[in-house]
């Protein structure tokens, strides 16, 4: 079922109604623990932490070495911890859409997949990097082709990372432009986020995450299965 960006966003807003505060807390925890390792949220968070570190250690001897160690430790922590948190945050958003119990504890419910989540991040990053080195456009296509890998692994934990990547490319065929348009429709919010030093992201972050979960619901056929649409046709 193909929906417009406005329809994806409308469904997301409806799912968030009455749950905005808890969803903001869930989003903040996910960002803080590295769920969005290569996203704008992470860049803002990392820059903030490093900015505070510069302020604290700028007068210390060997301050550059101290800051370098802090940056490396933070990057490693976010990279390894964030994969499992990302899967847990997806579980939270899908539960939100399904009107199931969207508990904050769902963020920490996928640590049984810890190493698979780490491998997922490495494999997807290397594939995207390879395509980007070859040419910019194939790199962008690869980024959108593999966009649903964490959603698939969250729902199908028995899948290998390779199979999840193949499945993502399959279900994204013909839908990459839709996802691009959905993300682009939040451009104004991103600009506002930068202008407000990240404060606007506290509102729009859960909104974007829920909207992308709606997108996955629709293109994967999950929504049809969960809501019994096929039975009603």
**pLDDT at residue 173, as a whole number:** 93
How many CA atoms are closer than 13 Å to the CA of 51, on its beta-carbon side?
6
Q: For residue 227, is pLDDT > 60? A: no
Look at the chain and count its residues: 233
25 burial (CB, 10 Å; 0-12 / 13-18 / 19+) is middle
> How confident is residue 32, by pLDDT bands cut at 50, 70 and 90?
confident
pLDDT tens digits, 162-193: 999 999 999 999 999 999 999 999 999 888 87
Is the distance from CB of 155 to CB of 222 less than 8 angstroms? Answer: yes
pLDDT tens digits, 70-95: 878 887 888 888 899 999 999 999 99
* pLDDT (mean) for 104-115: 94
Closest CA to 103 of 22, 46, 213: 22
**pLDDT at residue 9, as a whole number:** 95
Q: Tokens 């905005």 map to which residue?
A: 20
Distances from the Cα of 214 to the Cαs of 98, 120, 167, 201, in angstroms?
Answer: 10, 22, 18, 19
**pLDDT at residue 42, as a whole number:** 58
Residue that wins the pLDDT comparison between 222 and 198: 222
CA distance 65 to 14: 49
Residues 6+ apart with CB under 8 A from 45: 31, 32
CA distance 102 to 95: 5
């Amino acid at each position: 079922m193909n929906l417009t960006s406005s329809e994806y966003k409308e469904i997301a807003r409806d799912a968030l109604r009455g749950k905005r505060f808890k969803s903001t807390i869930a989003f903040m925890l996910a960002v803080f623990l590295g769920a969005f390792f290569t996203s704008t949220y992470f860049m803002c968070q990392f820059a903030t932490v490093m900015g505070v570190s510069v302020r604290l250690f700028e007068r210390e001897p060997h301050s550059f070495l101290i800051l370098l160690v802090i940056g490396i430790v933070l990057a490693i922590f976010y990279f390894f911890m964030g994969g499992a948190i990302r899967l847990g945050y997806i579980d939270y958003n899908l539960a939100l859409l399904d009107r199931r119990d969207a508990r904050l504890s769902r963020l920490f419910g996928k640590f049984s997949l810890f190493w698979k989540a780490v491998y997922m991040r490495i494999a997807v990053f290397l594939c995207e990097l390879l395509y980007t080195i070859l040419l910019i456009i194939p790199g962008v296509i690869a980024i959108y082709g593999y966009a649903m890998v964490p959603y698939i692994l969250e729902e199908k934990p028995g899948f290998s990372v390779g199979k999840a990547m193949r499945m993502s490319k399959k279900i994204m065929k013909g839908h990459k432009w839709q996802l691009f348009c959905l993300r682009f429709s939040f451009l104004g919010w991103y600009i506002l986020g930068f202008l407000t030093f990240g404060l606007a992201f506290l509102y729009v972050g859960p909104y974007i995450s829920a909207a992308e979960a709606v997108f996955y619901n629709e293109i994967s056929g999950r929504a049809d299965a969960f809501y019994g649409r096929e039975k009603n046709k």
